[in-house]
Amino acid sequence: MILVTGGAGFIGGNFVLDWLEAVGEPILNLDKLTYAGNLETLASLKQDQRHVFVQGDICDRGLLDQLLAEYRPRAIIHFAAESHVDRSIHGPGEFIRTNVEGTYALLEAARAYWSKLEDAGRAAFRFHHVSTDEVYGSLGPNDPPFAETHPYEPNSPYSASKASSDHLARAWHHTYGLPVVTTNCSNNYGPYHFPEKLIPLMIVNALAGRPLPIYGDGRNVRDWLYVGDHCAAIRAVLAGGREGETYNVGGWNEKPNVEIVQTICTLLDELRPDPAGPYARLITYVKDRPGHDRRYAIDARKIERELGWRPAETFETGIRKTVEWYLANPGWVANVQSGAYRDWVVVNYTAR
Ligand code: NAD
Ligand code: DAU
C-alpha cells in the first residue's frame, strides 16, 4: 500500500479518489483534519476497504513509527501542509510547525523505516514530497518561466516554510540516501477546493451575491492547473521519476487574476443567471496582500521529456467542470463554511 499525508485536503483528497480509481492500490491516509481537512470529500469511500483513514498529526513521531511498522507502505506521498498564503501572513507559527517540523518528523520516521527494509524494498521505496512553485519567488513580466534550476527565493511565510521542507527532503536524500522525489507545482483548481482560495471563493461569493474581492490591481499572474492533471503528474513521477530529482508541474496557462474572475462571472452568467444582473458587477478591488508575488510561471518541459506527462485539461474545459461541480454540490460548500470559516473571512477581509 501507499501512505498519503493530508489526504483529506483539496489536492490530497482528489489524489486519493483518483488513485483508487486509476491504480486501485490500497491507501493509508494520515490527516490531522485541520479546518482544511474534510472527510466529506472522501464520503464515497466509506465502504471501501482499500482506504484506511487515520486522524493524526505528522509531527507525532510515535504515531508515524507505529503506522509505518503496522502498514509497511512502499511509498509515502506527502501532501500535508498549511497551504494558504494569507493565513501564513496572519499567523506563521502553524506553518513552521506543520510544514517544517512535520516534514522533518516524517523524513526521520521514513528513514528509520526504510533503512530496515530488505534490499528490494529499500530500492523500490519512494518518499514523494509535494511542493509548490512559490519557493522560486516572483517573476518579472518578461522573465522565462521557473525551471527546476531556478534559485530558491521564497517571499511569504508559507513559501519560506515550503522551501525549508524542500531543502530538508533534498538533504535527507543527499546525506542518508533516502529515495526522495520532489514535485513543485503551480496553482491548482477543481472540485473540493476550500473556498478561501481565489477560484472557489469567487464562485461561492458570486452565488451568494457577495463582493468578489480582488487584491491590488488584479494583474498578478498565476499558472493554473486542473487538480486531476496534478494527480496524474504525481502518479507519473511515482512510477518513473528518478530519485533525488525535482520535477516542475504546471498548466502552461498563465493568467492575471482579474481575467480568472471575469471568466468565472461569464460562466455563472450562462449556467446560473442572476436576475440582479451580471456577476461581474460584484467585482471589488481591495487592499493588496503584503509581499504579494507578481508572477509565477512554470517550465514543465522536464516532466514531459522524461515521463511523457502533459496536462489533459485546457483552462476552458477545467474551469467549466469546476464551476459545474460547485453548482452541483452546494451541500459540500455549506458544510465547510462553518463558524471557523466565517471567523477567517472577518480576519482577512473586513480590514481591507
Ligand atoms: P489543503 O490546505 O487543502 O490541505 C492540507 C491537508 O493537510 C488538510 O487535509 C489538513 O487537515 C492536513 N494537515 C494540515 N496539517 C497537518 C498535520 N500537522 N498533520 C496531518 N495533516 C495535516 O492543501 P492543498 O491545497 O491540498 O495542498 C496540498 C499540498 O500541495 C501542500 O503541501 C501544498 O503546499 C501543495 N501545493 C498546493 C498547491 C495548490 O494550488 N493548492 C499547489 C502546489 C502545491
Ligand atoms: O502557486 C502554488 C500555490 O498556489 C500553492 O502553493 C498554495 O498552496 C495555493 O494556496 C496557491 O497560492 P496563491 O497565493 O497563488 O493562491 P490564492 O488562491 O490564495 O491566490 C491566487 C491569487 O489571487 C493571488 O495572486 C492572490 C489573489 N487573491 C486571492 C484571494 C484569496 C485575490 O485577489 N483575492 C482573494 O480573495
In a 3-state reduction of DSSP, which class is residue 248?
Answer: strand
Determine if ligand 2 sits within 6 Å of the CB of residue 253. no
Ligand nearest to the CA of 257: 2
Distance from the alpha carbon of residue 198 to the mean position of ligand 2, in angstroms: 6
Site to substitute for ligand 2 among 83, 85, 199, most atoms within 8 A of C-beta: 85
Distance from the alpha carbon of residue 150 to the mean position of ligand 2, in angstroms: 21
Distance from the alpha carbon of residue 39 to the mean position of ligand 2, in angstroms: 23
Q: Which residues participate in catalysis according to the annotation?
A: 133-134, 158
In the chain, which stretches have pLDDT less than 50? none
Which pLDDT belongs to residue 22? 98
Closest CA to ligand 2's atom 35:
198
Which pLDDT belongs to residue 337? 87
Give the DSSP H/E element, type plus range, for residue 10: helix 10-22
Determine if ligand 1 sits within 6 Å of the CB of residue 184. no
Determine if ligand 2 sits within 6 Å of the CB of residue 75. no
C-alpha cell at 54: 487515520
Q: DSSP assignment of 79-110, as one string?
A: --S---HHHHHH-THHHIIIIIIIHHHHHHHH
Whole-angstrom distance, CA of residue 62 vs CA of residue 84: 28
Residues near 244 by beta carbon (within 8 Å), at least 6 away in sequence: 170, 173, 174, 179, 180, 181
Whole-angstrom distance, CA of residue 53 vs CA of residue 292: 36
- Ligand 2 atom with the smallest distance to the CA of 202 is 36
Indicate the residue type of 219.
R
Ligand nearest to the CA of 189: 1
Whole-angstrom distance, CA of residue 53 vs CA of residue 167: 29
Give the DSSP H/E element, type plus range, for residue 223: strand 221-226
C-alpha cell at 112: 528509520
Cβ atoms of residues 28 and 50 within 8 Å: no
Ligand nearest to the CA of 9: 1
Closest CA to ligand 2's atom 16:
197
Which pLDDT belongs to residue 315? 98
Q: What is the dihedral of CA 333, 337, 338, 342, to 10 degrees?
A: 180
Which pLDDT belongs to residue 26? 98
Distance from the alpha carbon of residue 253 to the mean position of ligand 2, in angstroms: 15
What are the structural domains of the chain? 2-189+226-252+291-312 (3.40.50.720)
CA distances in angstroms from 162 to 53, 81, 205, 237, listed in the order given: 25, 8, 29, 19
Determine if ligand 2 sits within 6 Å of the CB of residue 5. no
pLDDT digits (tens, 9 = 90+) for 152-189: 999 999 999 999 999 999 999 999 999 999 999 999 99
Closest CA to ligand 2's atom 6:
132
Residue 53 DSSP symbol: E
Measured at the CA of 149, the angle between CA 146 and CA 154, to 5 degrees, comes to: 60
Cell 486522524 belongs to residue: 55
Distance from the alpha carbon of residue 5 to the mean position of ligand 2, in angstroms: 22
**Coarse DSSP helix, strand, coil percentages of the chain, rounded to the nearest 5 percent:** 50, 15, 35
Q: What is the dihedral of CA 51, 55, 59, 62, to 10 degrees?
A: -80
Cβ atoms of residues 293 and 130 within 8 Å: no
Closest CA to ligand 2's atom 25:
220
Give the DSSP H/E element, type plus range, for residue 246: strand 246-249
> Model's pTM, two decimal places?
0.98
How many CB atoms lie under 10 A from the CB of residue 152? 14
Distance from the alpha carbon of residue 324 to the mean position of ligand 1, in angstroms: 24
Residue 159 — φ and ψ, nearest 5°? Answer: -70, -30
Ligand nearest to the CA of 161: 1
